[in-house]
A and B are shown apart, each in its own frame.
Chain A
Amino acid sequence: MESADVRSDEPDDSAMNSAVSTLEAELLANDVQAVPTSLDAFLAQVERRAFRLAEMSLGHREDAMDAVQDAMLRLVRNYRDKPAQEWTPLFWGILRRRIVDLQRRRKVRSIVVGWLGGGRDDDGDELPAWEPADNGPGPLDRLQDAQSYEDMAAAVRKLPRRQQEAFMLRVLEGLDVAETAQAMGCSEGSVKTHLSRAMHNLRDQLEDWR
């Protein structure tokens, strides 16, 4: 039985590795892409990644959609006349602030529900903090590497907020240190510190990824 389990794991690992190597090649191709000259092209390029990033932070698809929509609107309304090279840190900075706003709003809602007596069940046991219902199809329904992605998203969600932001912008989105600092509204030194701690925590949590 054990050997069967081991055998069944092996093809998944090899498939994963091949998927990763294929994607790495694509990433290299993406990295040398020219900066989009129109806002439409820029938003089309980042919208899906922005949604995934917001979803990873918020753990909720509708909230993630709201955050991305609002970030797009604010970028277009307030910064459309800025040079195209500045759109990337501006957009991710706006999205980061929207995510923080939504997290705070959710926390307040959770506290209010607690005050109104919704925090305990009939037996007096504490109910979990209020979370909005999410009935939409999750990323796992379609993703081949579903479990790995779920593990990573769960591990990232456990990080303190600033570490989360540094990891998502610097590692996942691939912004450079200066752009990450601009998007996070902090110094480049702080970005490096947050990222270093995030990587340390993630290595502890995702030991089997080594």
Chain B
Amino acid sequence: MNAPDNLERRARALYREASRQIDPATAGKLRAARREALAAAAAPAHARFARMLVPAGAFAAIAVAALMVFSPRDSVPLPPAGAAQTLEADGDLPPDLSNTDPSLMQNLDFYDWLATNDASQASR
């Protein structure tokens, strides 16, 4: 801008003077408004966080509900039927401890003796 002319200088001076001459009641309201604005920005750190929690919670609930509805309960891949039979038929493999009745595992010596006895009687 060029050098301010008389009108500009005078207008600005009047404006500044009018701003200084604000009545105490209005000045008090302005101060209160400023404090309120600053407090509103300072306080709501947790309030804003809480506001964010609502949609986050809703999203989580929807996600859980969706998981329950479309849960792939039956889609756990089972071993093919043929494979199980093959394993059972294969007598050379050690017994599968996890699938065997635990009571059978307690008297292994007896079963061994029984099997040997059966075999000897059969040979007679």
Genuine A/B complex = yes
The answer to whether B20 and A48 have CB atoms under 8 Å apart is: yes
Known: A47-B34, A72-B34, A170-B1. A27 touches B7 (CB 8 A): no
The residue on B at minimum CB distance from A23 is B13
A 3-62 contacts with B by CB, 8 A: 19-20, 23-24, 26-27, 30, 39-40, 43-44, 47-49, 51-53, 61
Q: With A and B bound together, what is the CA distance between A52 and B11 in angstroms? A: 13
The residue on B at minimum CB distance from A203 is B7
Cβ–Cβ < 8 Å partners of B46 in chain A: none
B33 sits at the interface (CB 8 A)? yes
The answer to whether A209 and B16 have CB atoms under 8 Å apart is: no
The answer to whether A172 and B15 have CB atoms under 8 Å apart is: yes
Total residues of chain A contacting the partner, CB 8 A: 50
Q: With A and B bound together, what is the CA distance between A47 and B29 in angstroms? A: 10
Q: With A and B bound together, what is the CA distance between A139 and B22 in angstroms? A: 7
The answer to whether B7 and A199 have CB atoms under 8 Å apart is: yes
**Interface class of chain B by DSSP:** helix
B21 sits at the interface (CB 8 A)? yes
The answer to whether A172 and B11 have CB atoms under 8 Å apart is: yes
B36 sits at the interface (CB 8 A)? yes
Which of B37-45, B81-89, B91-99, B102-110 sits within the interface?
A: B37-45
Cβ–Cβ < 8 Å partners of A139 in chain B: 18, 21-22
The answer to whether A148 and B10 have CB atoms under 8 Å apart is: yes
Cβ–Cβ < 8 Å partners of B40 in chain A: 73, 76-77
B8 sits at the interface (CB 8 A)? yes
**Interface class of chain A by DSSP:** helix
Q: With A and B bound together, what is the CA distance between A68 and B37 in angstroms? A: 11
A145 sits at the interface (CB 8 A)? yes
Cβ–Cβ < 8 Å partners of B18 in chain A: 52, 139, 143, 149
A171 sits at the interface (CB 8 A)? yes
- Give the residue among B7, B30, B37 with the most A Cβ atoms within 10 A: B37
* A-B residue pair count with CB separations less than 8 angstroms: 119
Interchain nearest-CB distance for A207 vs B (Å): 10
Known: A48-B19, A143-B18, A171-B11. A43 touches B41 (CB 8 A): no
Choose among B7, B10, B22, B38 the residue that contacts A48 (Cβ–Cβ < 8 A). B22
The answer to whether A76 and B37 have CB atoms under 8 Å apart is: yes
Choose among B7, B19, B25, B34 the residue that contacts A210 (Cβ–Cβ < 8 A). B7
Choose among B16, B23, B30, B41 the residue that contacts A23 (Cβ–Cβ < 8 A). B16
A177 sits at the interface (CB 8 A)? yes
Q: With A and B bound together, what is the CA distance between A174 and B19 in angstroms? A: 14
Report 26 cross-chain contacts, Cβ distance below 8 Å, ordered by A residue.
A19-B13, A20-B10, A23-B17, A24-B13, A27-B16, A40-B34, A40-B38, A43-B34, A48-B19, A49-B19, A52-B15, A65-B30, A75-B37, A136-B25, A137-B23, A142-B22, A143-B17, A145-B17, A149-B18, A152-B11, A171-B4, A171-B8, A171-B12, A203-B7, A209-B7, A210-B6
Beyond A19-B17, A52-B19, A61-B26, 11 extra complex contacts between A and B, CB < 8 Å: A27-B12, A39-B38, A51-B26, A72-B37, A139-B22, A143-B18, A145-B14, A149-B17, A152-B11, A203-B7, A210-B7
